[in-house]
Structure 1
Amino acid sequence: MASREGSTFKRCGCRDEATGRALGAKCSQLKRKGGGWNPAHGAWAFQYELPPTAEGGRRQARRVGLASHDQAREGLEHVKALIGLAEKDPVVEVQIADLVQKALKQRRPLPEVEEVRKKVAMSVDVRTEPPTVAVWLAEWLEGKPDLAEGTRASYAGHIRKYLVPHLGRLRVDKLQARHAEAMFAQIEEANVHILECRESDDARVKASVRGQRVISLSTKHRIRATLRSALSDAVRRPDLPVSVNIASHARLPSCPRKRPLVWTPDRVRQWKADGVVPGEVMVWTPEQTRAFLSHARKYRRLYAMFHLIAAKGLRRGEAVGLPWSNTRLTDGQVDIRVQMVQLAWETVTSTPKSAAGQRTITLDTDTIKVLRAWKRFQNEARLQAGKDWQDTGLAFTRQDGTGWHPAQVSDWFLRISRAAGLPPITLHGLRHGAASLALAAGTDVKVVSNELGHATTHFTQDTYQSVFPDVAKAAAEATASLLRGGPVPVKAPVP
């Protein structure tokens, strides 16, 4: 039996010609005639008496077939260093000895000392094999039953399309920031490939990337946010040897918030000339919004919804999923408590994902009149439909009472805006426009932030500082007046 100090030795596979017994360490060929070891014969080994098993059985660590004495000595010291990490704690000693014994039996490298040290420091059973990133992400997502459906679908998409293909095979405790950065570098390489193929004169090359989309910087940030959320839970898990959230250290270029740009006359002229939209987020001027709503009056089943979005800044899902039961026209208020979320083509009704999203908005007189007129029209349609009416309880419905699909509403918005001859914005641009209109009208930013469902006023101010041209012009003239020695303008206090 090996001693607790351990030993190294050299042996071979030769056998005694007379008895057939293995000579082992007694073979005369293991040493040269001068007494030194013969490097051409035999192999080195080490052995060490391990702490007893949990049942008290004796055991030893032994590894043979090593090429040099140095390898045998290093292996022995490695085992002793691992056992020493237990600091004579009998439970931890058994765990480490089990881990060493398993590695030797399976002819795998011995566990790294620092890796085991980390597990011991975190009071984690050192025998536990940490999961791969793919396994952990699946377990993490499954363990979040209360996620909003839209958020779950977003997380699942990031995991399936990016995180698992690029990082899934790595052990979660081995994941490093450089791995995540390499993933984003590969995504960007794919972006460049798609753009180059789109510019090719070869139809087959163009066709090879049809349907593939370029991944924006904001999407990369959301992918990283998904990984960061999953690793935050891994760090909190006492049975996982993860102490650092590497996603927080993975570098990405900053992604400034996309502030809306207003379709000024100069921008409209330039767009008509070259077809280039000057910004990713565009909003109409008040005059353009009025032109859209005037044209939208021809579409009675959609006008009231578009008017409400333009006036109060509802999100598409909030407007499509709004029930009459949450609309109090006598009080002039609407409670935003539900939204319709689109997942691929399927839709799911859920609550807004943030507490700020659940809010009450106050209606102006014009909007109340529009909604009352629409409700009368809807009631007439219900009476005409009779038993064919689908009683969904929704505020905005099609001719049979069924609700609108969110994508259909967006499609109709684009059709109507084109028919009105207006420069392009998205349906969400109506929401941006409502926010900018309210701020330009002098509404307190706190009121605007609450009605839009923003978590902070800072977000509202930072996003909607692109005021309308006439407001900006008035501010510029007021500043110039001071330079000319004019009176200091006094801002009326906010009531």
Structure 2
Amino acid sequence: MATIESYETKAGKRYRVRYRTPDRKQTDKRGFRTKRDAEAFAATTEVSKLRGEYISPADARTTIDELGPDWLGRQTHLKPSAYRPIEVAWRLRVQPRWGGVRLSDIKTSAVQQWVSDLRRGADGEKPVGATVVIRTYQVLGSILDDAVRDRLIASNPARGVKLPRKRKKRHVYLDHEQVALLARAAGEHETLIYMLAYTGVRWGEATGMRVRDLDLLRRRATVDENAVEIGNQIVVGTTKGHKRRTVPLPDFLIPYLARQCEGRARDALVFPDEAGNHLSRPHTKSGWFDKAVTAAGIARVTPHDLRHTAASLAVSAGANVKAVQRMLGHASAAMTLDVYADLFDDDLEAVATALSDARSRASVGKMWADRARGS
């Protein structure tokens, strides 16, 4: 049980609570102005020990700097492309603000103010978008979640903070004619444009594809690797969903791919750079892709917009949501519908029309039955 002792200070009498931690180490808490305050602390401490909720005051003095690097080191489950943004968020935004702050000194209001300052760019800093703000906040929140699980603090002061809303970017869809214009303007990258726009593979999946992944007789391509550019380095790994998938190849694309693979070994890349290495993503404005967009005279698009285009062209050709899901490699048809709900508006109209027709048939049938009984 805890014991309470008084002692004298220049400011007057104060009280000290001596008690044992759950691991049987003796410690104390001093500075209570009244004996009642000391007794309340002692009682609360004993209850928290019985419930397994005890938090050591010494642990609560741990700083974020002491936890952040270890937390980053545990993110081994992330792909390099996913790890880099959180490492940047820690290094540029979380550590400078919270590194030297003790866990016990972090207040929800302070976290909320920090989030707001990031969004609007306070103190001369450049404002950042909602996605960056949310990612940065999640780094701090996750570090504090681990602190709660390790019994360093009782609760996470970052939870309950209001975050900015991410504005969903409107998809850009090209039609067949626009894709053809872009492909011709892309010159030596013509086949790559068609591959992106008619199979829905991601940029890294296309540039990581090898000759052995193409089965032109069966009109199929295997998507097995993803080449992601991280900084100035290209890292090759598994696909985004960690699953291999097969995508169909339209008939018109077969001759293009055959010429693209001519003279190449089975392990060679289908779309290499001039040195035979993985092709880097074209730079905006000055890269070959943007130059091709300008030359084609079409709407401003990115290489990833061609993936959206592939979904649009597939739906307009009569593909159902399950087929589009498999082609794009989405985890579920629900995800495909969430991303491309606007492409299935005609299906909603078809449902309304079918319901109206069904009602009309039922009404006519009832009318004839009533007449038959009346005669």
Q: TM-score, normalised by structure 2?
A: 0.77
3-state DSSP class of the match of 1:443?
coil
How far has the Cα of 1:454 moved from its partner?
1.9
From 107, 111, 133, the counterpart of 2:64: 133
Verify: 1:407 aligned to 2:282, yes or no: yes
Structure 1 residue 152: deviation in Å? Answer: 0.8
Match of 1:327 among 207, 214, 223: 214
In the other structure, the counterpart of 2:150 is 238
CA change 1:464–1:421 in 2 (3 A) is: same
> 2 CA distance for matches of 1:324 and 1:148?
25
In 2, Cα distance between the equivalents of 1:184 and 1:368? 51
Q: Could you tell me which residue of structure 2 aligns to residue 398 of structure 1? A: 273
Answer with 150-159 or 344-353: which moved more: 344-353
1:255-334 alignment, distance < 5 Å: 255-260=166-171, 282-296=172-186, 298-299=187-188, 302-334=189-221
Asked whether the 8 Å contact 1:313–1:435 carries over to 2, the reply is yes
Map of 2:13 onto structure 1: 45
Q: Is the 8 A contact 1:339 1:349 kept in 2?
A: yes
**Change in 2 beyond 3 A, CA 1:314/1:234:** farther
Question: 1:61: Cα distance to partner?
Answer: 8.0
Secondary structure at the residue paired with 1:331?
A: coil
Matches within 5 A, 1:434-445: 434-445=310-321
Q: In structure 1, what residue type is equivalent to 2:158?
A: I
Tell me how far 1:309 sits from its aligned partner: 0.5
Structure showing greater relative contact order (alpha-carbon pairs closer than 8 Å, 6 or more residues apart): 2
Indicate if the aligned counterparts of 1:326 and 1:336 stay in contact, CA closer than 8 A. Answer: yes
Alignment check: 8 A CA contact 1:45 1:62 kept? no
The structure 2 residue matched to 1:219, chosen from 119, 132, 135, is 132
**Deviations 1:361-407, CA, capped at 9 Å, x for gaps:** 2222222332112111x53xx8xxxxxxxx97212113442221223
Shift of 1:283: 2.7
Deviation at 1:189, TM superposition (A): 2.8
**How big is each residue's C-alpha offset from its partner over 1:388-440, in whole Å with a ceiling of 9 and x where there is no partner?**
xxx97212113442221223699221112212222321111111111111122
Match of 2:239 in 1: 352
Instruction: Structure 1 unaligned segments of length 5 or more: list them.
Output: 11-41, 64-71, 89-116, 195-211, 261-281, 383-390, 488-495
Which residue pairs with 1:362 in the alignment? Answer: 248
Q: Which has the larger radius of gyration?
A: 1
The answer to which of 415-424 and 400-409 deviates more is: 400-409
Gaps of 5+ in 2: 362-375
Residues 1:342 and 1:144: Cα distance change in structure 2 (over 3 Å): same
Q: Structure 1 residue 140: deviation in Å?
A: 0.8
Contact 1:323–1:394 under 8 Å retained in 2: yes
- 1:272-331 deviation line (CA, Å, top 9, x unaligned): xxxxxxxxxx332232112212333x32xx222221101011111111112223333333
Distance 1:429 1:124 in 2: 51
Counterpart residue number, 1:202: none
Q: What is the RMSD computed on CA atoms of the aligned residues?
A: 4.1
Whole-angstrom distance in 1 between the partners of 2:128 and 2:53: 38
Matches within 5 A, 1:68-87: 73-74=33-34, 76-87=35-46
Aligned partners of 1:130 and 1:241 also within 8 Å:
no
Structure 1: distance between partners of 2:270 and 2:320? 29
* AA of the residue aligned to 2:135: R
* Identical columns (%): 24
Output aligned runs, 1:242-257, within 5 Å: 242-244=154-156, 246-247=158-159, 249-257=160-168
